[in-house]
Amino acid sequence: MPSALITGATAGIGAAFARRLAADGFSLVLVARDDKRLAVSAEELRLRYGVRVEVLPADLTAEDGLAAVERRLREGVDLLVNNAGFGHRGTFLDVPVSDELRMLKLHCEAVLRLTMAALPGMRERDRGAVVNVASVAAFFTRGTYSASKAWVVNFSRSTAAELAGERVRVMALCPGFVRTEFHDRASMDVSGIPGVLWLSADKVVAEAMRDLARGAWVSVPDLRYKAIVAVGRLVPGKLTGQVSRRLGRR
């Protein structure tokens, strides 16, 4: 039975990955900060899909939590989904530097360290994959969040290039607006986002798994967002910054 470890596994895209992988017959290791919520999620997945589910409570912005997940990955998994993340309500100059550093710890350092913990075993077994959840924001300019997600995309591409020709894959997943708890947790007002731009987490995961199977280095789910990213690459950075500032939050 293949195995997968998912960070940020109890809500949103992480929970959608857990459902999809359980349905595909994966045994799961669920990582999140809330141990009670982890236990509830694990039991639901066991009952619904009949798979083995292990829980690992860990705060990936803390050294002990990050080290614990590294140790588990070195025991071996077939798929790592680096999904844990968060956003800020305020703009860059309004956010305490300590909060910005926590974001970099989670979005960059944790992704780097967990990927590096998982890959040696995958290469030794000659199979495996890492999905690093980034964002369409990676292709635009919106403070530390978009900068950190741009790092995730570049890191994933670079690592995928180094593994070219092997049976181990690395892919960055770049969704747009997804109906999850993400925006509520960050106290973001997204009432101005057109309904047509919202995606379901299950749809995002389904497209991500298809892209991973075909060997993509970067997955941008949905044709609408593929078009937005393509246009964004052609538009001057100053203009895209103005648009993302108006569209992203009020």
Active-site residue flag, 225? no
Q: Are 201 and 15 spatial neighbours (Cβ–Cβ below 8 Å)?
A: yes
C-alpha 203/C-alpha 42 separation (Å) is 22
Structural domain count of the chain:
1
Instruction: Give the closest residue to 61 by CA, choosing from 85, 29, 78.
Output: 85
Instruction: Give the closest residue to 249 by CA, choosing from 113, 142, 111.
Output: 142
C-alpha 180/C-alpha 193 separation (Å) is 14
Range of the domain at 212: 3-248
Q: How does residue 1 score in pLDDT terms, banded at 50, 70 and 90? A: confident
What DSSP assignment string belongs to 30-45? EEES-HHHHHHHHHHH
At position 78, the amino acid (one-letter code) is D
Catalytic residue among 49, 140, 145, 155: 145
Tokens of 248: 């992203």
Q: Tens of pLDDT along 117-129?
A: 999 999 999 999 9
What is the pLDDT, as a whole number, of residue 134? Answer: 97
CATH number at residue 102: 3.40.50.720
Q: What percent of the chain has pLDDT over 70?
A: 84
C-alpha 189/C-alpha 121 separation (Å) is 42
Residue 235 CB partners (closer than 8 Å, separation 6+): none
C-alpha 56/C-alpha 26 separation (Å) is 17
In eight-state DSSP terms, residue 74 is: H
Q: pTM score, two decimals?
A: 0.88
Q: Tens of pLDDT along 130-181?
A: 999 999 999 987 789 999 999 999 999 999 999 999 999 999 999 988 866 5
What DSSP assignment string belongs to 43-56? HHHHHHH---EEEE
3-7 and 79-82: which strand pairing? parallel
Q: Tens of pLDDT along 191-231?
A: 556 566 768 999 999 999 999 999 999 999 989 989 989 88
